[in-house]
Amino acid sequence: MIKKEILLKLNSMMKNTLMETLDIKYTDIGDDYLVATMPVNEKVYQPMGLLHGGASVALAESVGSTASHFFIDSEKFEVRGIEITANHLKSKREGIVTATARIIHKGKTTHLWEIRIVDEKGKLISLCKLTNIILSKT
């Protein structure tokens, strides 16, 4: 599949999910990374009108977990997030944030991802690490 077709397929799978609620969209893919965007608006605010850290974590886990699927045989295995950490470094009131998941460790049973969430100017908003476990479907 070419890159555009993969992104269309990923985005079509969002119906009735948290990713649809948060307006997360996959925008780019490469051999060792996946990129998604999320608008910063009232859907993702905390009470002070800022991007909620939990929304950032949901974006990070969405892009990192989805990216692990490109390294497994989905007929035989499935992906589950088992640990995520997040450092929220800068606040955001409006606009778009972009999350890029890059593989750090690709093992047979675990994948470790670094997810950088940046604003439109490339300034780091949150830095996350996600560990996924790869489970047999049988």
CATH code, domain with 22: 3.10.129.10
Predicted pLDDT at 138 = 81
Q: Reduce the DSSP state of residue 49 to 3 states and report it.
A: coil
| Total of domains in the chain | 1
- Please say if the pLDDT value at position 88 is more than 70: yes
What is the rounded average pLDDT for all residues in the chain? 96
Predicted pLDDT at 53 = 97
Residue 31 is part of which domain span? 3-136
Angle subtended at Cα 33 by Cα 117 and Cα 91, rounded to the nearest 5 degrees: 0
Task: Extract the tokens encoding 1.
Answer: 């599949």
Predicted pLDDT at 89 = 98
C-alpha span between 73 and 31 (Å, rounded)? 16
Query: Which residues neighbour 116 within 8 Å (Cβ) at sequence distance 6 or greater?
Result: 99, 100, 102, 124, 126, 127, 128
Catalytic, out of 5, 42, 61, 114: 61
- DSSP class of residue 138 equals -
C-alpha span between 80 and 83 (Å, rounded)? 9
Is position 78 annotated as part of the catalytic site?
Answer: no
The model's confidence at residue 1, banded by pLDDT at 50, 70 and 90, is low
Predicted pLDDT at 6 = 93
pTM attached to this predicted model: 0.95
Q: What is the pLDDT of residues 38-84, one digit of tens each?
A: 999 999 999 999 999 999 999 999 999 999 999 999 999 999 999 99
